[in-house]
Every structure is written in structure tokens, then in C-alpha cells.
Structure 1
Amino acid sequence: MTSSMSEGPQVLQSKSPGDEPNDHSVGIPQEVAPGVFFLKGGTRYFEEGTKTGPAGAVRSLMCNNGWIDLGDEVLLIDSNMPSRTDALLSAVRDTVGEKPIKYVVNTHHHGDHVYGNRRIRERTGAAIIACREMVDELRRFETAAFGGPPGRWEQVATLRPDLADTSLLPPTLVYGDRLELIGRDRRVELLHHGWGHTRGDTIVWLPAERVMFAGDLVANGPYNIVRDGEMREWPKFLAFMEELRPSIVCPGHGERAGPEILTSQRGFFLSLWAQVESRVRDGITLDTLLGDIEMIRAALLADPAAAEHVIPHDADLAVMSLNAQVERVFRQIVQE
């Protein structure tokens, strides 16, 4: 069960035959505070994985978006995938009119949050903002954008025509740990607080409205991909977010929620770490540990503080599995 706020508009489902995974509609924005909007992306990638075939899995990946009416201009949170650019910009116009999009914030370097950068900048002229560590991550993983061989997402462009038709645009405005953007109507803070989901996570915080856009530091449901995460430090970032005392939390994937989602997400990672650490102390090997995966899953599902973030059954994606989460924790423990 996922955390949620009170009932609100739901994202429209694809009307194409068989609910094709390459549907590019964006659904219905939710106004979570005056002038502040959240748009939930689909989660089929996480739930079905390669059941739709390798191309179907890759084509179905998308993230949540948000945007903030600053008064005279708009801040957009994450650029999503190129196939969604036109519909996303249309949704923004439908809610705030023809106000220009001045900023696009990339919450981290993963492809579903950044590969729309170029098309959105071409259409709007917006500055693309990220923290310094996020750009370092792009250099590490999306190497073709910096003159190197094809990187992580560049290698799957053959499975996504929208990626093949464009190229990654890195951020054009880089900040350190904090950046304040002040518009006529409201103030927004961009905050980086160390290594969590990635080395370069940004949260978007509206202190007056108490609304937080969390990127993939938070997923409302069993949607956590941890391959670039620091599993001991991630809960500390979440604790920092809790200390801000948001009323509404908009995650990178899944439905919007209240502050309880920060607590449950942190509880999941702490419980996962404890399950692995207790076995490592007994001298267990990785192969034996992975052989215990269903026991670990059962223990996590039995923990009320963790259960809603536990992958109930693996989606046939190596990166999206409890095995991958357990292995990430194991490797970080043995390296300490």
C-alpha cells in the first residue's frame, strides 16, 4: 500500500489498445498548493519490467514532474523523457497560461529526469539547473555528452526512438549546496545534502507552502533503484528532509504524499541495512545472502516501518529487484 494525500485527480491512463507502454500522454496535473503543481508519471516500468519486452520496458520509463508559478515565470521540476516534452509543456500552459518557463531543475542525473533537457530548452530557453555533483555524475555515466563513448542511457537509444532523435543537454546553471530562487509571488530553495539516491540529488523546497519535491530520494511505493545510492547516508538525507517539516511531499515516482512517506522511506532503508548487516556479521557470502532473499523479503514486509517500499515480487529487471538492493548494501558494508 502506498501513502497518499486526500483523493485528488488521477493521471489519465493510456487509451491505446493494450495500454501500450510508449504512450506519451501526461495525465491531469494536481494543484497541491496555489500555483504549485504535481504531475504523476506512469510506474509500469517498475511493476512489469521486461514482461513488455526489453523495448517496452525502456519505453515505458518516465518520472513525475512538478512546476511552480513564481509570479512572472515558471520553474519546472525535471524534464522527463523527450517523447513527453510537447504534452508536458502543454500541461504547464493549461495551468499557468503563457508564462515563460525560466528554470528547469534536474533533481538528479538519471535519464528519465534529464533527457528532455534539450527539447525543453529549445522550446523555452529555460536555464537547466542542477548541483555540481549531479554534473559530475553525468560525466561519469552519460559519457557521450562529454565527447566519450556511449554511456548508460546512450547505449539504449536503439530501444527508444526519442533518445535516438536527440542528445543529452547537461545543466547550464550549476550550484553548490543551496540555491534560492525568488519570484514575484514565492521563494523556492534548491537543496543538496550529500549522497543519497545519487551523489547529486536536489530537493525543491517551498518553505512558505511547505511543499517538497523530493526527486528519487523518495518513491511512493516499491520503486527504489539503488545502484547509484549510498545506503548508509541516504537515510540521513531523508532525516534532513523530515526536519524541514513539509506538509506535502511529491516523490520522483508514485503518488504524492504527506511527510509520513519520508519516515517510511527512511525506515525501509534502515531495516534493509539491518537485515543485511546482521548476516554479514555472521560471515555470510554474497551468494548465500542472495539465497536468503525470500527470508529477507518476508522480514521487511513484516516491518510496518518498511513494508510499503518492499518489492513484493521482482519485475524481471536486474536493476529493479530486492536482490539488487541487498547486494548494494552488502558491498557497501564489506568495503567499510
Structure 2
Amino acid sequence: MLKRFALLAVVGCALALAVYAAADKPAEGAKQLPVPEMKFNEVKEIAPGVFFRYSSISANDKNIPFGGSNHTWVVFKDYVVVIDANFPKEAADVIADIKKTTNKPIKYVLDTHHHGDHAYGNAVWAKEGAKIIAHTNAARLMKTNGPKQWEEAAKDRKDIKDSELKQVDISFDDKYELKDDTQHVVFMHFGHMHTAGDASAYLPKHKILCTGDACVNGAFNYMGHSNSASWIKCLEAMDKLDIDLICPGHGKPARKDLLAKETRYFTELRDAVKKGIDAKKSVEEITKGLDLAWYKEWTGVGVVETDMNKDSVKHVYNELQGKIDHDRLGATSAPLNWRQPPTGIASR
């Protein structure tokens, strides 16, 4: 019964957003938004009143620290809406960049999920007067498991230690909509993807989808809190939207075909692991034999060159063996910096 409701929710999201897209359809003959070329920590206006900040990605090069999540902000008539809260230090950096683009107050910040690089800066934004918005499941995970996970994270980052865990102010189940005569943003929950509480932001007027870690551009798919089968269905629902530009949680902006790359990765990963299980292979044997040649063309690294992908094979292996309770995922913390690809990917 729960699976049936989950499927209905995914279909419902897609239908609702199709209605929004039709209502906010751009003028006839409007040009497709360009995909901006970005450097780390650079800000560009990607559509009228819509700004994107490309955060640095950690690598073995110590001169390129992990800059947390990407950010998109939307300037409404009287206020600003921000996608993702990041870590405390990076939240302050982003606020400084926002103030270079507008003098309007920051009113709302969406936590796309409960992980530290997307939500631990909440207190910094709250001091600016912003209300924190998140899906009900993200808010629940922040409340029930957040204090312990925050305490663990504070051991590794001084900015976390010097800040405080700010809980969500506004939670929603399916969607939360913000609209005036200048901008329109719809926060939507498609289902269990990267986490049980993923939320994306759709800008129907500009045909932009801000995905958080539900869709990333590169070798940054942490699956430790995911439901891979549901993730595929949700990506397929997202793909039905009218989209010019994807603003991912990590990696550079991209066209809509990024959703297809993500779908292909999870589909082929599940297929390979299923074949390995049927052949009575161990998770180590399956991992060693994994061969997705196209993946390196996309990400710049081989599919098993990162510990994260090795962990993903194990996660899917356990899922297909019925060893994972998806309802409890998120009770253990995700590593603060699990995006640790080999030297060379940092410049991508």
C-alpha cells in the first residue's frame, strides 16, 4: 500500500508541475537559456533575476577545499528565495554574494535535504531574517537525528562547532509555492531519491529545475541514504517537465539530458548488481567487474575509481538482497565530505 501511495505521489508531482509549466509558459519564440561556463565560487545570472553560484568540489588538491553545495537564488519583487543552506562558513560567503546582486531581504531558504552541506548553515540564514523550508521527512530527520549528527560534525568543522543547529520553520508534504508578478518557484517532493526528504525547486517561467543532490553533474552520487529503485522513478517523473536548464546540487549546470545520465547510471548499476547476485558473486567480485565505459566520459573518472561508487555497489547489493529498511535511512549521518574523487576532476 505504501509503495502504491509513493508511486501516486510521483505521478501527481509530474502532473501538477505540467500544469504550472503551462500556466507560466514563456512568450512564443523565447530563446533557450544558455548553459553558463562557470569557475569555482563564481556567480552568474542565468535568467532574469535568477542567479547561480558554482561551489568548489574537493579533490586531493588541498588548495581546492570542499565548498559545500551549489546555490541558486531568485529575486522576487520584494524578497529573495535561496536554494540550499550549505555549511555555516559557506552560507556567510553566499550571503555576501547575494548582497552584490540585490538589496532585497532574504526571506526563504530551501533545505533540499538534511545533509550538512545543504542544511547546517540554517542558523546563519536565520540571522538574516530568513525562514527555513524543507520537506516533512527532511524536517523530521533534522529533528530526531540532527542533534547527534550535528555534534559529530562539529568535531571536524570549526564553523559547525561555532554555530548551532537551526530546525526547519516551514515543512511541506508534496509542494510549497511562492509566486508574485515577477517570479514563480514551486518546491516539490518527488519521492525517496538521494534521501527520503529530497526537495527540488522548479521555476516554470524560466524552465529551470534546481535539484539538490537528487541530480548531480559528475561523480558525486552518494547513495548511503537512497532508495535506488524509487530514485529512478522520480528522475523519470522529473524528465516530463519542460526544462531548459538543470542546476544540480554539485557540479556544473547542464541541459535536461543530465536527468537521463543519472537514470542510466542507477539503472545500469542495479542491472549489473542483479546479474552478479544471480551468478552467486560476492559484492567484491561484482564491484571489481563493474564496467560502465560511458560513465568516465561523463564524470572524468572510472566507475570504481572512487570509494563512493564502491559503497554504492554495496548499497544496491544490500537493497536487492532485502537487507535495507528504507524508512530508517538517514538515522546515521552522511560523511561531511564524501565527494573525494581522484586528482584531476577538480577542474571539471
Looking at structure 1, the residues matched to 99 and 192 of structure 2 have their Cα atoms a distance apart, in angstroms, of: 34
Shift of the 323–232 alpha-carbon distance from structure 1 to 2, 3 Å rule, reads same
Q: 1:42 aligns with which of 36, 51, 56?
A: 56
1-structure distance, mates of 2:69, 2:262: 18
| Cα pair 1:11 1:39 within 8 Å, conserved | no
Question: Is the CA contact 1:226–1:325 (under 8 Å) kept in the aligned structure 2?
Answer: yes
Look up the match of 2:298.
308
TM-score using structure 1 length: 0.81
- CA shift, 1:160, in A, is 0.8
Question: Within the alignment, does 1:218 sit opposite 2:205 as a pair?
Answer: no
Following TM superposition, by how much is the alpha carbon of 1:314 offset from its aligned partner in structure 2, in angstroms? Answer: 6.3
Structure 2 residue aligned with 1:193: 190
Task: Determine the C-alpha separation between the residues in 2 that align with 1:307 and 1:328.
Answer: 24
Q: What is the alpha-carbon distance in structure 2 between the residues aligned to residue 7 and residue 238 of structure 1?
A: 20
Aligned to 1:28: 42
What corresponds to 2:289 in structure 1? 295
Task: Go from structure 1 to structure 2 and tell me whether the alpha carbon gap of 1:61 and 1:99 turns closer, same or farther (over 3 Å shift).
Answer: closer
Distance across 2 between alignment mates of 1:85 and 1:180: 23
Deviation at 1:313, TM superposition (A): 6.9
Measure, in 2, the Cα distance between the counterparts of 1:315 and 1:300.
12
Task: Note the 1:73-112 alignment, pairs <5 A.
Answer: 73-95=79-101, 97-112=102-117
The answer as to 2:97 corresponding to 1:131 is no
Cα offset for 1:85?
2.6
Aligned-residue sequence identity (percent) comes to: 27
Map of 2:75 onto structure 1: 69
1:330 equivalent in alignment to 2:317: yes
Aligned residues of 2:36 and 2:46 also touching (Cα < 8 A) = no
Does the C-alpha gap of structure 1 residues 310 and 332 become closer, same or farther in structure 2, counting only changes over 3 Å?
farther
* Alignment partner of 1:234 is 2:239: no
> Under a length normalisation based on structure 2, what TM-score does the superposition of the two structures give?
0.78
Shift in Å, 1:62:
0.7
Letter in 2 for 1:108: H
Q: Deviations over 1:173-205 (max 9, x none)?
A: 011101111123111111001100000000100
Tell me the distance in 2 between the aligned counterparts of 1:315 and 1:106: 30
Q: CA RMSD in A?
A: 2.3
How many Å separate the matches in 2 of 1:311 and 1:170?
37
Residue 104 of structure 2 aligns to which amino acid in structure 1? K
Q: Judge conservation of contact 1:107–1:113 (CA < 8 Å) in 2.
A: yes
CA distance in 2, matches of 1:333, 1:313: 20
Gap regions ≥5 residues in structure 2: 1-32, 324-348
Q: Given that residues 177 and 187 in structure 2 are in contact (C-alpha distance below 8 angstroms), is that contact kept between their aligned partners in structure 1?
A: yes
Provide the aligned length of Structure 1 versus Structure 2: 291
Provide the rounded CA distance (Å) in 1 between the counterparts of 2:142 and 2:284. 31
Residues 268, 310 of structure 1: 8 Å contact kept: no
1:264-303 mapped onto 2 (5 Å cutoff): 264-284=261-281, 288-296=282-290, 299-301=291-293, 303=294
User: Which position in structure 1 is the counterpart of 2:39?
Assistant: 11
1:272 is displaced (CA, Å) by: 0.4
Q: Name the SS of the counterpart of 1:29 in structure 2.
A: strand
Aligned to 1:163: 160
Aligned equivalent of 1:177 = 174
